[in-house]
Chain A
Amino acid sequence: MLNFDWLQWVSLTMAKAVFLALFVVSGLLVLMIPKASILEGVENPRWWHNLKLWALGVLAIIFTIYFIF
Chain B
Amino acid sequence: MLSGIDYFVVVMYLVGIMVLGLYFARFVRSADDFFLCGRSLPFWAVGMSIVATDISAMDFVGVSGQSYRFGISVGNFDWLGSVPAMLLAAFIFIPYFWKAGLYTIPEYLGRRYNDGVRAVASMTWIVFFAVDLGVLFWAAAVMFKSIMGWPHWFSIGATAIVIGLYTFFGGLTAVVMTDVVQMIIMFVGGATVVVVGLYHAGGWGGLTDKIAAMGEAYQNHFELIQPADTQTPFPWTGILFGLTLVMSNAYMIGNQAIVQRCLATKSVWHAKASMLCGAFFKMFIPMLVMFPGLIAVAMYPGMEDGDHAFPTLVKSLLPPGLRGLLFAGFLAGLMSTIDSILNSTATLWTKDVYERFLKKDASKRHYMIVGQLATVVLLIFGVITSPLSKQFPGIYVAIQTFLSFFQGPAFSVLLLGMFWSRATQWGGLVGLVGGISTSVLLYIFKDRLFTIEDPFLYVSWWSFVAGVLLNMVVSLATRPHPPGRLAGLVYGLPKTPQSSCEAAVC
Contact = CB atoms under 8 A, between A and B. Distances in A.
B453 interface: no
A55 B83 CA distance: 9
B83 A58 contact: yes
A19 B273 CA distance: 24
The secondary structure that dominates the B interface is helix
Contacts of A41: 267-270
Contacts of A23: 84
A4 B457 CA distance: 12
Contact of A69 (B223, B269, B451): B223
B457 to A, nearest CB: 10
A61 B236 CA distance: 20
B241 interface: yes
Interface residues of A, number: 34
B79 A18 contact: no
Given A41-B268, A55-B276, A61 B451 contact: no
Nearest to B271: A41
Interface in A10-63: 10, 12, 15-16, 18-19, 22-23, 26, 30, 33, 37, 39-42, 49, 51, 54-55, 57-59, 61-62
Given A19-B225, A49-B269, A51-B90, A58 B279 contact: yes
B241 A54 contact: no
A19 B449 contact: no
Interface in B239-293: 240-241, 244, 267-270, 272-273, 276-277, 279-280, 283
B80 interface: yes
Interface residues of B, number: 42
Contacts of A54: 273, 276-277, 280
A3 B450 contact: yes
A2 B240 contact: no
Contacts of A42: 267, 269
A4 B241 contact: yes
Interface stretch (B116-124, B227-235, B358-366): B227-235
Contacts of B225: 12, 15-16, 19, 66
Nearest to A53: B276
Contacts of B224: 65-66, 69
A27 B277 CA distance: 16
Contacts of A58: 83, 87, 276, 279-280, 283
B231 to A, nearest CB: 12
Nearest to B82: A62
Contacts of A12: 223, 225, 227, 236
Contacts of A40: 95, 268-269
Contacts of B227: 8, 12
B244 A22 contact: yes
B44 to A, nearest CB: 12
B282 to A, nearest CB: 9
B84 A22 contact: yes
B452 interface: yes
B7 interface: no
Contact of B272 (A10, A15, A18, A51): A51
A62 B240 contact: no
Contacts of A5: 228
Interface string B191-234: 00000000000000000000000000000001111011100000
B458 A2 contact: yes
Contact of A2 (B83, B279, B462): B462
A30 B87 contact: yes
A56 B287 CA distance: 21
A19 to B, nearest CB: 7
A36 B462 CA distance: 38
A59 B83 contact: yes
Given A12-B223, A62-B283, A69-B224, 9 more contacts: A4-B238, A5-B228, A7-B237, A8-B227, A15-B225, A16-B225, A18-B240, A30-B87, A66-B80
Interface of B: 72, 79-80, 83-84, 87, 90-91, 95, 222-225, 227-229, 235-238, 240-241, 244, 267-270, 272-273, 276-277, 279-280, 283, 442, 449-452, 455, 458, 462
9 contacts: A19-B80, A26-B84, A30-B91, A41-B268, A51-B272, A55-B91, A58-B87, A61-B283, A65-B224
